[in-house]
Amino acid sequence: MIEEGKSVILDDGKKRFLLLVEDVEEKIKGIGRFNPAMLKERSFGEVITIGSKDFMILKPSISDMMLGIRRKAQIITPKDACHIILYTSIHDGSSVIEAGSGSGALTMALAHSVAPDGRVISYDVREDFLEVARENVRLSGYTNVEFRLGDVRERIDEQGADAVVFDFSDPWNAVENAYGALKDFGHLCCYCPTVEQIERCASAMERSGFTDIRTIEVIEREMVIREGSSRPDNARIGHTAYMCFARKLPKRL
Ligand SMILES: C[S@@+](CC[C@H](N)C(=O)[O-])C[C@H]1O[C@@H](n2cnc3c(N)ncnc32)[C@H](O)[C@@H]1O
C-alpha cells in the first residue's frame, strides 16, 4: 500500500513523473490538475486514470526519480551519474560538494549514494535554480542535502570533502577552490559538453596540484528485445558530456 509522504512515479508509457504523496492539489505539466493524496492506499502496479490518460503507479528507482523530475536546467542523466559516483568513489558516509544544483538530478543520485550517514552540499549561483532543485530533492524523500546560494569560483566554505563535482560552464575557474575543499587524495569531477572546456579543466587540475587526471565519455545504447529480432534501438545516440576526473595530491608530496 502507498503511504502519505512516500515518493511515487506515474508512468504514462512515454514519460515518468516523480510525485510525493501529500495533500496538495496542483497543475502538473503532462498530467493536469491533480492531488497526489488520491494515491494513498493504492498499490504499486495499479493503473489510474487522470483526465483522459492512464498512468501506472511505480515504486521509484533512483534513475526513475532523476528522469521524472521537473527540469529547469539540463540534467546529468543516470548513464553519466553512475560513472561519476564510481570514479569518485562516493559511498555511504561520503561528504560531497557539487555545483551547480541545476534541477537537482545529480543531487538525488549523490544523496542516494552517500545515505544514510553522508551528506551533500549543493551550490548554485541562482536562487531560482536552487528552488527547483530543493523541491525536486524534497519529492525524492532524501533529507541529507544542504543547498547553498553561492559562486564556487569565488569560494567554497567547506573543507575535508571526499569528492567535488562541477557541472556548469566554466569549472576550470573553480578548480583551485575545489583543491582547498577536498581532503588529501579526494576526487574531483568536471562535467563539460565540449572538448575545449575539458582541456581547460585538465590544465587547471594539473596547475592546481591534482594527479591521476583522466577524461571519459560514456556512450549508452538501449536494446529492443524481441525474440528472433533483437537489435539496438533506432534512437540516435546523443552526446551528453565529457567527464574529467582527478585526485588531490597533497602539497607536501
Ligand atoms: C547544467 S546546470 C546543473 C544541472 C545539474 N547537475 C542536474 O543534474 O540537474 C548548471 C547550474 O550551474 C549553476 N552555476 C553556474 N555557474 C555557477 C557557479 N560558478 N557556482 C555555482 N553554480 C553555478 C547554474 O545556475 C545552473 O543552475
Domains of the chain, by residue range, sit at 7-60, 65-248
Please give the model's pTM, rounded to 2 decimal places: 0.93
Strand-pairing partners, residue 224, are 231
Q: Mean of the pLDDT values across residues 130-134?
A: 97
CATH class, domain 65-248, is: alpha beta
CB 95, CB 160: distance < 8 Å = yes
Asked if the model's pLDDT at residue 108 lies above 80, the reply is yes
Domain 7-60 and domain 65-248 have a common topology: no
Helix (H), strand (E) at residue 62: helix 62-68
Of all atoms in ligand 1, which is nearest to the CA of residue 174?
19
Q: What is the pLDDT of residue 62?
A: 94
Per residue in 7-31, pLDDT tens?
999 999 989 999 999 999 989 889 9
pLDDT digits (tens, 9 = 90+) for 30-59: 999 999 999 998 999 999 999 899 999 999
Q: Are strands 32-34 and 47-50 parallel, antiparallel or unpaired?
A: unpaired
Kindly state if the Cβ of 109 falls inside 6 Å of ligand 1: no
CA–centroid distance, 124 to ligand 1, in Å, is: 6
Average pLDDT, the chain: 95
Spacing, Cα 19 to ligand 1 middle (Å)? 23
Phi, psi of 16 (to 5 degrees): -115, 145
- Ligand 1 atom nearest residue 104's Cα: 9
Instruction: Look at residue 88 and tell me whether its pLDDT is greater than 90.
Output: yes
Supply the pLDDT for residue 235: 80
Question: Which of 120, 124, 142 has most ligand 1 atoms within 8 Å of its beta carbon, as the pocket-test mutant?
Answer: 124
Is any ligand 1 atom within 6 A of the Cβ of residue 105? yes
C-beta 152 within 6 A of ligand 1: yes
Q: 99 C-alpha to center of ligand 1: Å?
A: 6
Cell digits of residue 151: 559562486
CATH hierarchy code of domain 7-60 = 3.10.330.20
Task: Tell which wins on pLDDT, 1 or 187.
Answer: 187
Is residue 124 lining ligand 1, measured as CB closer than 6 Å? yes
- Res 236 pLDDT > 80: no
Backbone angles phi, psi at 124, to 5 degrees: -145, 150
User: Average pLDDT in the 74-95 region?
Assistant: 97
Give tens-digit pLDDT for 161-203. 999 999 999 999 999 999 999 999 999 999 999 999 999 999 9
Question: Residue 251: is its pLDDT beyond 90?
Answer: no
Strand pairing class (119-124; 95-99): parallel
